[in-house]
Amino acid sequence: MIEETETIDEFLARHSADVAEALRNAAAAEILPRFRQLATHEVDQKSGPHDLVTDADRNAELFLTKALGALLPGSVVVGEEAVHADPATYEAIQGDAPVWIVDPVDGTRQFVHGDDGFCTLVALARRGVLLASWTYAPARDQMATAVRGGGAFLDGERLFAGPPEPGRDLTVATSHPDYTTDEQKRALLALWSDGVAPRACGSAGLEYLAIARGELDATAFSWEAAWDHAAGLLLVEEAGGTHLTLTGEPFRITGGNTLPFTAARDAATARRVAGLLAGGEPLGR
């Protein structure tokens, strides 16, 4: 655990591997035993049939809340399922204490359907600044990590997103239009244009990983729940990518963003996609 005189940077230098181990342990105890083994009573709906929660989500979040709090006393945890139960807990993201932002099963729909395209996401932030992130795909046994200023890695290998290949269509993973406002739907439909190849997004965390690996050019997302984006945004940044809202500013995990927003493998791609979403020319310079 953190010492009284230890800084967050020093904590991360000593304990980043311990955080990764906590994710692996949570998955081994609560997620993988239920993968392709879910009983009907272990799956519920939240806001609708597209918004599912399982016993794996709930139990893995409880596991991580205990483990992460023990690693960093004085920190708080903002988890998707805890916020669903008590929305006021989301406000901790804006506080002074270090905050763990947790999505226990990102891609619950895929998890429920037996698809291995799901992951567990954890980010550490303070005063709205992302400091470190962990993206673990347990069914694939892949662990991606990032520390601000320290680079992005997948299973120990450095990640570099790099620019898209010149002359080909941009591949962009997008929010499903059915789950957006009319204004957002119009913005997303602008991606169906020459030189862009949009497709429906899967697990947000794995889409961000695909950008960091240079396998996907950009995303276009219409919601701002921090647990879906925090880990991936830092991973993309540390791999050389960037993110923009429709105002031309970076996405803020504290909220108040103009949506949809994009994350992309380089600045030029981000400006191009954000410009299309805004209905005009590429944003910024």
Amino acid 119 reads C
* Statement: the pTM of the whole predicted model exceeds 0.75: yes
Does the structure show a pLDDT above 70 at 19? yes
Comparing CA positions, the residue from 97, 123, 137 lying closest to residue 12 is: 123
Q: What is the dihedral of CA 262, 195, 207, 14, to 10 degrees?
A: -70
Question: Does 122 or 186 have the greater pLDDT score?
Answer: 122
pLDDT of residue 4: 44
The pair of structure tokens assigned to 199 is: 């497709």
The pair of structure tokens assigned to 117 is: 């395209």
CA distance 149 to 147: 6
pLDDT band at 5 (very low <50, low <70, confident <90, very high): very low
The rounded Cα 252 to chain-centroid distance in angstroms is 13
Listed in sequence order, the residues at least 6 apart from 214 whose beta carbon sits closer than 8 Å to its beta carbon are 160, 161, 162, 265
Lowest mean pLDDT among 59-63, 123-127, 181-185, 269-273: 181-185
Q: Report the percent of the chain where pLDDT is more than 70.
A: 93
CA distance 38 to 54: 8
Does the structure show a pLDDT above 60 at 60? yes
pLDDT of residue 122: 98
Listed in sequence order, the residues at least 6 apart from 277 whose beta carbon sits closer than 8 Å to its beta carbon are 187, 188, 190, 191, 220, 246, 260, 261, 262
| Span 221-246, pLDDT tens digits | 999 999 999 999 999 999 999 999 99
The pair of structure tokens assigned to 129 is: 């600044």
pLDDT of residue 284: 55
pLDDT band at 112 (very low <50, low <70, confident <90, very high): very high
Mean pLDDT of 184-190: 89
Question: Does 107 or 53 have the greater pLDDT score?
Answer: 107
CA distance 199 to 177: 11
Backbone dihedral angles phi then psi of residue 20, each to the nearest 5 degrees: -60, -40
pLDDT of residue 123: 98
Number of DSSP helices (H) and strands (E) in the chain, helices first: 8, 14
Does the structure show a pLDDT above 90 at 181? no
pLDDT of residue 182: 84
